[in-house]
Chain A
């Protein structure tokens, strides 16, 4: 049984990764999509979108994302997480949807990939140094050993080569040749990439040599001749292709993006009447990539999970800022955030999620009521930075209720409406909506009454549904109105409570119970679990009607329980 190859190999030249390009590579039979994002970071991914396995090389490099051509799913550079599924644009893609990433490094003018390594590993030193002038790389329809053997005769293809001056050094996949060519010293270094068992790519570099000769063309011609001879000799028609040999990199269970993390509270201050603000530190080894409108789940000191929108401006990514309103009927969530936290303490949060996005390239009218200002501050800042026309209308009870005044003052087009009664609010909004120009999108966040009012007024003013966006803290499968329920595991007898806002699947996993999940949306069937007793509340789209009525199984990733107790066959 062949041991996996743990070496680093070149897979492209740095110059191959052009601006907003997706490079098509292959290593040891695995197809690769290589792309450089706008921060110059190189990504080496298996050339396969995890949705329906369409090649990423058919897709588009958007600068910070790679977009698959089939359904427009977008993946961020770095960890390869899917950040947008257009068919459900107002939801956060599940963490399970992630490109298969490989360890990648850039050195000696080449891109290096190791199919086995963890990202943190360093590139070992090269056997022979790269020489000053990189030459054109060339693919050979031949196995690596055959190519290496043929390259040993490279110098002899120079008609001016002094044969007794040829010196060759080689290792498994590198060669260094030097010789004298009509009294001039020549030196070439070759690196070999085993693209597949039948295909090898040769990267070469040289010292500037021959005066009066264009080294790029000169060496390219010689390498072409060498390739022609090798391919003919092997009985191959130089341009025939071996059959489609498929190699899929199996999914890696290591290094899945973390579901939650602990962060330090850097600052905790009162920003308005009944509203506190928190600044949360991000871990040293990596920030988050998120867009205006994003929110995080916070595990409050009181034990409940609550969602809070991120107030961050577009360039503000070293920490997270949220605003928390003290709810009069707080069950312990906002109350504990207000009274039981201070700077220096730690808080458990999720990665940012986004169900409330700006539509790119359009103007925006932002309408905030009370604490609903938080995502709209982020959106206003984003629109202003992008130089898109916008208006922010902030409805508050009084001056003292205005949150984050320092951020508001940064937004040029904001309008604060204080102390309006319902009738005045109605009239003010009616005018705002009527005066909007065509193609503008409307974003609303605040109490239900405000959202309902805007919804009605927008409809009356002829706005189409697709132009009006409300902040909903949930996707179509909401955990917001959930009731907690108890679960008993049949085999161990263990019993626990599934809290509102946490899925049954996550609860099981948190208790160390092995559960296979995939889509995390109740559509793929992977997590199906048998039910011994209790009445499941089915929220999936996978089970048949009979299966749902039978109540002998459920999908724990989305489904919950109607009965107080659910007994699972686990």
Chain B
């Protein structure tokens, strides 16, 4: 099966910077292909195809993450301005493997309506389940999707939160497998914390979710920040492990959205308009013999 160029020629994350030990060699998969990678004694990151070709892959290190491309990626990476701010805490939250298409993981990241049921007592709680109308816009120039004015009542919005708040969220999708959440910083409410989801598709049904934080927080320890993120992510993990199919259906009749799903509906439309098939559900053509 050949992979469409819009997927093939992308950058994909392999590891968060602090998770690698210099001098060690690691193995993983990307888009169904075996990869060997690592950082040498001098700290230089490299990766190559672990098949017959042994061909080297394009690599780059940005946003605290080592990225690789199997194809010919765009020269320009998407911008996340928060990483340039010198007082930011930048750290990986711990990468986790998920038995689902990376597109499902991105869509789950963009959704708030599940907070009261999956992140009960943390990011949401009954009866504060109604999702008020928010705005979704596709930035045609940058080819990104933005959801703004997202609000929800949160009993415990972050590590170290002492009281419930109405959280304000902004969601941004920059690539099919990349999404960023901006939420009001509890410490400096005029600024926003950024939680980056960089997804590495191992194949169409498995992925690794690399989560990188760029926080305005002078008090919490690394461990506390990571622990909170891991608690939240692993609550989603059981749900993500139970999609039937694991791949993302793009047919709006197969899975029915509601108005609260405006962002995920825009995401699926964006993928459809790009002709993306990798990681999506392609039903077998209906034959007379099937019930």
A–B direct contact (CB < 8 Å): yes
What is the count of residue pairs linking A and B with beta-carbon distances less than 8 angstroms?
Answer: 141
Q: Nearest B residue to A525 by beta-carbon distance?
A: B252
From A84-92, A200-208, A274-282, give the one contacting chain B.
A84-92
B244 contacts A246, CB within 8 Å?
yes
Alpha-carbon distance between A89 and B245 when the two chains are bound, in angstroms: 27
Measured between C-beta atoms, what is the minimum distance from B253 to chain A in Å? 5
B243 contacts A526, CB within 8 Å?
no
**What chain B residues lie within 8 Å of A51 (beta carbons)?**
255-258
**What chain A residues lie within 8 Å of B113 (beta carbons)?**
71, 86-87
The answer to whether B259 has its CB under 8 Å from any CB of chain A is yes
A542 contacts B130, CB within 8 Å?
no
**What chain B residues lie within 8 Å of A48 (beta carbons)?**
244
Alpha-carbon distance between A3 and B287 when the two chains are bound, in angstroms: 10
Which size bracket describes the interface of A in this complex? 35 or more
B289 contacts A88, CB within 8 Å?
no
**What chain B residues lie within 8 Å of A55 (beta carbons)?**
242-244
Interface string of B247-291 (1 = CB under 8 A from A): 001001111111111100110010000000000000100111111
A524 contacts B114, CB within 8 Å?
no
- Identify which of residues 503-561 in chain A touch chain B, using a CB-to-CB cut-off of 8 Å: 516, 518-519, 521-526, 541-542, 544-545
Alpha-carbon distance between A161 and B127 when the two chains are bound, in angstroms: 64
**What chain B residues lie within 8 Å of A96 (beta carbons)?**
256
The answer to whether B34 has its CB under 8 Å from any CB of chain A is no
Alpha-carbon distance between A460 and B113 when the two chains are bound, in angstroms: 30
Chain B CB count within 10 A is highest, among A52, A116, A359, A476, for A52
Measured between C-beta atoms, what is the minimum distance from B216 to chain A in Å? 29
Given contacts A69-B118, A246-B245, A526-B252, contact A85 B127 (CB under 8 A): no
Q: Nearest B residue to A58 by beta-carbon distance?
A: B242
The answer to whether A236 has its CB under 8 Å from any CB of chain B is no
**What chain A residues lie within 8 Å of B78 (beta carbons)?**
none
- Identify which of residues 104-144 in chain B touch chain A, using a CB-to-CB cut-off of 8 Å: 107, 113-114, 116-118, 126-131, 133, 136-138
Q: Nearest A residue to B138 by beta-carbon distance?
A: A544
The answer to whether B165 has its CB under 8 Å from any CB of chain A is no
Contact check: which of A116, A359, A542, A545 meets B137 at CB < 8 Å?
Answer: A545
A1 contacts B289, CB within 8 Å?
yes
The answer to whether A250 has its CB under 8 Å from any CB of chain B is yes
**What chain B residues lie within 8 Å of A521 (beta carbons)?**
257-259
The chain B residues found within 8 Å of chain A, CB to CB, are 107, 113-114, 116-118, 126-131, 133, 136-138, 205, 238-239, 242-246, 249, 252-262, 265-266, 269, 283, 286-291
The chain A residues found within 8 Å of chain B, CB to CB, are 1-5, 28, 30-31, 47-48, 50-55, 58, 69-72, 85-90, 93-94, 96-97, 115-116, 244, 246, 248-251, 359, 466, 476-477, 516, 518-519, 521-526, 541-542, 544-545
Could you list 8 further interchain pairs (A-B, Cβ under 8 angstroms) beyond the known A1-B288, A58-B239, A524-B252?
A48-B244, A54-B243, A70-B117, A94-B256, A466-B128, A519-B257, A521-B259, A541-B136
